[in-house]
A = this chain, B = another copy of it.
Amino acid sequence: MGDTQTGRPRGRRREADLNDARLMQAAREVFAEQGWDAPVSEIARRAGIGMGSLYRRYPSKELLAQRMRVVGMEQLVAQARTALSEEPDPWAAFARFLRDALSAQGPGGPLLPLVGGRLPATDEIVAAAAQLRAALEDLVEGAHRAGVLCADFTAADVPLLLEHLTARIPVTDERATALHLRYLDLILAGLRTSAADEPTALRGPAPDWAELSELWNASEG
C-alpha cells in the first residue's frame, strides 16, 4: 500500500507509473476475454509495453494476476461506495452498482477477479476481499431494510450473479456490454419486490461467502 502517493513523479518514473496503469487495464481486458491461459505477450502488446518491462515490474504471471485481482476488487469497492453515497434511494444504489460493475470495469471489459480459483490468495487479496464483502453487504442490507429486494438474495449472490451475466462472447466490447446490461435489466426487474409481494421467486440454496472463497482461491498447493 502507499505506492500511489508519489508526489508528481516526472520523467522515467512517471513513465513507469503510466505503464503500470496500462498493464492493469490490459491484463483485466485480456484475462476477461481469454481466461487464465491468455498469453502474457498479448497483455504486453495491448498495453504497448515490452516483455522486459512487464517482467521487471511483475516477476511472474501469477504475481501480475494477483495484483490485478486486488486492483479490480478495490475498484468494485469504490464503485459500491460511490453508489451508496450518491444515490439516496437504496434500490437505486443497488441497481447502479450492478450496472457500473458490468459496464465500467474498464472500457467494455467484463468482470473482475474470476481468473482466481487457481492462484493462491495473498494477504493483500484477502484484505481486499474482506472490504469488498463489507461493501456489498452494505449495499444489499440497505435494499433489504427498505423492503425492495427479494428476501433471500444475499451479498454473496452479487459476485456470482455478475459472473453469470458476463458471458464471453466473441463480439465487440461495446456490443457485449450492451447485451450484459440488457439481461441485467431482466434480473433487476425480477429482483425487485413491490412491497408485500408473494414469496420470493428464488429457488435453491443461496450461496454464502465461504463458497465464494473456495471459488476464488486455490484450494492448496
Contact = CB atoms under 8 A, between A and B. Distances in A.
Interface of A: 35, 37, 117, 150, 160-161, 163-167, 169-171, 178-183, 185-191, 201-207, 211, 215
B165 A164 contact: yes
Contacts of A187: 183, 186-187, 190
A202 to B, nearest CB: 6
Copies of the chain in the assembly: 2
A91 to B, nearest CB: 14
Contacts of A35: 35
Given A163-B169, A187-B183, A187-B186, A178 B204 contact: yes
Given A178-B204, A189-B201, A167 B171 contact: no
Contacts of A171: 211, 215
Contacts of A164: 164-167, 179-180, 183
